[in-house]
Structure 1
Amino acid sequence: MVKNKITDIKFALDSLSVYRGLLKDNVINKFNLLLEYIINDNRDLSSIINKYNDFYYSLVSSNSTNTFKSYVINCILFDDNVFSRSAEIKNFNEIDDCIKKAVDHDLLCLQKVALLSAGDIKDHLEETNPHWSFETDIIASLPTWDFKDYEINYSGIYDIFENFNRSEYWSLCTKDVADFYKLNGTGIFAKYKGFIWERQDGFGNLKGIASPDPIRIADLIGYNSEREIIIKNTLNFLNGYPSNNILLYGERGTGKSSTVKAILNEYYDRGLRIIELPIMLLPDFPQIIKIIKDRPQKFIVFIDDLAFGDNEESYTALKAILEGGLESRPKNTVIYATSNRRHLIKERFSDRQDEVHASDTIQEKLSLSDRFGITVTYLSPDRNKYIEIVEGLVKNRGLIIDKEHLKKEAQLWEMRYNGRSPRTAKQFVDWLEGQLSEIDK
C-alpha cells in the first residue's frame, strides 16, 4: 500500500543518525513536515496543499538542483558531520567501523527519501480519502518534482553522482563518499572555494561565494617577476614549508587583487581556500581562526585595499595578527593584503604634535607594513609595458587587428580615460572586442 510506503519513508527520516543534521535543511525539513502531516490522517485539504507547496517552493528555489534526488545527494556530499570530518583527514580503513555502519544505514534511508515521487504522495492522498470527489482534481493538479536530469556544474562531482545513480543500494557508496570528503573537504569548505566574512545582528559568519572571479594566472599579462614571488610563497604554504604573510603594494588597477584571485583558482584543487576579511571587521580575526584552525585545507585571509585613518581598533587588530597575539596565526593560514599605500597609515601633521613621544608613534605606525614578511610592489607600467599588456590580452582573446592601429587606439584610450594600468588595458580590450564583434555582424 502507498500508505505503508509513506510511513516507511517518514521512519527513514526519523532514524537518521550521522546525517541527522540534514533534518535542519530547509528543503528536507519542509519535506519532513509534509510527510508527518499526511501520515497522521489529517483531512484539512488546505493545510495539505500549503505544506506540499511549501516543500515544492523550497526545492525549486534552492538554486542547486533540478530533482529532489539530486538535492538529497548534494546534501550528503556537503554535510558536515562526524563521518565527513573523519574522512577528510583519515584513510577509510581508519574510520571507526560503528560510524561506517551508521553511515551505511543513513544512506539507505536517504535513498528511500530521495526516490519518493510526487505521484506517490498524490496516490496516498487519494487512497486515504476515498470520500473526496472534486478534491481529486485539485490533488492531481499539484506540481511534480520529476524534472529533467540534474545538470552538474561543480567540478569533481560528476563521478560520485554517477555512482549514486548506478547503485542499487546507496550503502555501497559509503567509501565513495569518504573519498569525496578526502579530496574536497567537508561542509561549506567542500562546496565553496571563496568566502567573505560578514557580520549580521552582531554575529560573524562565513558566507560562501557561489560565483567567484574565474580569472587564472594565464589571463594575467606582465608583472611576471612580482607574481612569481607570490606563487612561490603560496606553494611553500601548500607544501607545509615556512611561508610569509604578503603585502601587495602598488597603484590602483595594476592587478594586485586579480593576482590573489588567480592563485586561488590555480591551486584550489590542492586544498587552497580564500576568506576575504573587510578591514572594518579585522577585530573578528580570532573568530575566523577558531573556525578554520583544525581544518585540513589551507586558507588565505585576504584583506583588500588596506589603509588606516582614525580606526585605531582595526589598526591594533592587524598589528596583533601580524605579530602574533594570544590567538596566534595557525599553520594553515596566511594573510595576503593589498594596498595603494606603502605605509598603510594616513599620517597627519597632528600626529607629530599631539604626543610627547610623537616620533615613536609615527615610526610605529609607518612600520606596520614591515610586519608583513614579504612586500611585493606593483608599479604602473610605462608606455611600452602598457602596449605589451594590451597586445597580450588581444592575443589571448584571439582578436585580429593591425598592430600599429592597435597601438594608436590603446594610447588614445589611456589618455582619455584612466591612465596606464592593466585595468585600463583590459577595459580598452573589452571595448575593442565589442567593436570588432559589431563589425562582424
Structure 2
Amino acid sequence: MADEGKNDDLKRIADALERLAPPPPTPVDLASGDAFYWDAAGAKAIDPFEPIDFDLLTGIDLQKARLLDNTKRHASGHAAHDVLLWGSRGMGKSALAKSVVRALQAQGEDIALVETASDHLEKLPALFEILAREKRRFILFIDDIGFAEGSSEPRMLRSMLEGGASERPANVRLYVTSNRRHIVPRQMSEQDDPINPRDAVDDQLALSDRFGLRLGFHAASQVDYLAIIARYAEAHGLAFESEDALLWSKQRGSRSGRVAWQYIVELAGRAGKSLA
C-alpha cells in the first residue's frame, strides 16, 4: 500500500509539472509567410511583416537601386551577392534590408526574410539545413553585427559565406548591417605588433571581403535630412517648417533618417494624428 501511495504522489507531481511546462512550439511553415525570426528555440513567424514602404526611403537612392537589383536576381534564381550594409546609424540600413524584401513580395516574388541576432551564429548551420530543403528563396538578415575581441565568430561567418563545411545554401543570401566598414574594428595594437602585423590586419579584413556587395550609408546632409522629412510628411498629410525640423536635429545632435522619422512622430502627435 505504501508503494501504491508513493506511486500516486509521483504521478501527481509528474502531472503538475506537465501542466506547468509550456507546450512545444508549433512548427513554422517556412514555405509560406513573409518573414521569420530565428533563435535558439527555432523559427517564429513575424506577423504582420510591415517594414517601411520601399518608396518612402529617401536620400539613399543608389543603395536602394543596387540592393533591389541584387535581391531581385536572387528571387529569380540568378547569381546574387551576400551584402554588407555599413555606415552611419539611423540612415536606413535595416529598414532597407527589410523593405526591399517586402517590395518584391508585393510584386509576386516567392522570397522571405529570416532575421536572427549575431549571438546566434553558432546555430546557423542547423538553420541552413532547414532552409536548403525549401524551394523558395530567403534573405537571412543579421542586424548590427558585432563581435567581442578575440571571438572566433568572424571566422565562423567567413566559413559560412565562402567555402566552409557549413556554407550557406544556394537559396539563401546573407544581408548584414554594421556601423563599421570592415565589421571588426582594427586596433592600433595590431598594426604595431612586431610579429607578422600584416597577417593580423588581413585576418580582420577578410570577413568584409566575403561580401560581394558592400553598400555605404553616410550621415545625412541638411538637404537630405529635410528631403526625408518632406517625403514622410507628404505621405502622412503633415505640414512642417524647415527651421523647426532643423532645430529638432540640433537638439539631438545628428541628422539621420531615424531622427527625421522621430520628428514626424512628433509632428503627428502635435496634430493629434496617428501614424498607424
Normalised to the residue count of structure 1, the TM-score between the two structures is: 0.53
Question: Would you tell me which structure has more strand in proportion to its own residues?
Answer: 2
Please tell me whether residue 422 in structure 1 is matched to residue 263 in structure 2. no
> Residue in 2 aligned with 1:251?
88
DSSP 3-state at the match of 1:260 = helix
Q: Map 1:317-332 onto structure 2 (within 5 A).
A: 317-332=156-171
Structure-2 separation of matches of 1:262 and 1:410: 25
> Residue in 1 aligned with 2:29?
188
Q: Map 1:210-225 onto structure 2 (within 5 A).
A: 210-225=47-62
Which amino acid is the alignment partner of residue 241 of structure 1? H
Kept in 2, the 8 Å contact 1:418–1:424? The answer is no
Stretches (4+) displaced over 4 A: 352-355
Using the TM superposition, give the Cα deviation of residue 327 of structure 1 relative to its aligned residue in structure 2, in angstroms: 3.0
> Which ranges in structure 1 are unaligned for 5 or more consecutive residues?
1-53, 55-78, 81-186
Kept in 1, the 8 Å contact 2:155–2:207? The answer is no
Using the TM superposition, give the Cα deviation of residue 328 of structure 1 relative to its aligned residue in structure 2, in angstroms: 2.6
Structure-2 separation of matches of 1:326 and 1:302: 21
Q: Percent identity?
A: 29
> Residue in 1 aligned with 2:40?
199
| Residue from 230, 238, 251 that aligns with 1:391 | 230
Cα distance per residue 1:295-347 (max 9 Å; x no partner):
11111111111222325221111110122212332221101011100111122
DSSP 3-state at the match of 2:114 = strand
Structure-1 separation of matches of 2:51 and 2:210: 31
DSSP 3-state at the match of 1:367 = helix
DSSP 3-state at the match of 2:98 = helix
Structure-2 separation of matches of 1:378 and 1:348: 23
Kept in 2, the 8 Å contact 1:283–1:313? The answer is no
Q: Map 1:109-128 onto structure 2 (within 5 A).
A: none
Please tell me whether residue 228 in structure 1 is matched to residue 65 in structure 2. yes
Please tell me whether residue 437 in structure 1 is matched to residue 272 in structure 2. yes
Q: Map 1:263-412 onto structure 2 (within 5 A).
A: 263-268=100-105, 269-310=108-149, 312-352=151-191, 356-401=195-240, 406-412=241-247
Kept in 2, the 8 Å contact 1:248–1:375? The answer is yes
Kept in 2, the 8 Å contact 1:386–1:425? The answer is yes
Structure scoring higher RCO (CA < 8 A, sep ≥ 6) equals: 2
Structure-2 separation of matches of 1:425 and 1:311: 37
Q: Map 1:25-40 onto structure 2 (within 5 A).
A: none
Structure-2 separation of matches of 1:429 and 1:291: 41
Kept in 2, the 8 Å contact 1:345–1:366? The answer is yes
Structure-2 separation of matches of 1:311 and 1:273: 33
> Which ranges in structure 2 are unaligned for 5 or more consecutive residues?
1-18, 20-25
DSSP 3-state at the match of 2:30 = helix
Cα 1:367–1:191 change in 2 (3 A) is closer
Which amino acid is the alignment partner of residue 198 of structure 2? S
Cα 1:329–1:355 change in 2 (3 A) is farther
Cα 1:363–1:190 change in 2 (3 A) is closer
Normalised to the residue count of structure 2, the TM-score between the two structures is: 0.83
Kept in 1, the 8 Å contact 2:85–2:175? The answer is yes
Over the aligned positions, Cα root-mean-square deviation in angstroms equals 2.1
Question: Would you tell me which structure has more helix in proportion to its own residues?
Answer: 1
Cα 1:197–1:251 change in 2 (3 A) is same
DSSP 3-state at the match of 1:206 = strand
Cα distance per residue 1:268-296 (max 9 Å; x no partner):
34111111121111122211110010211
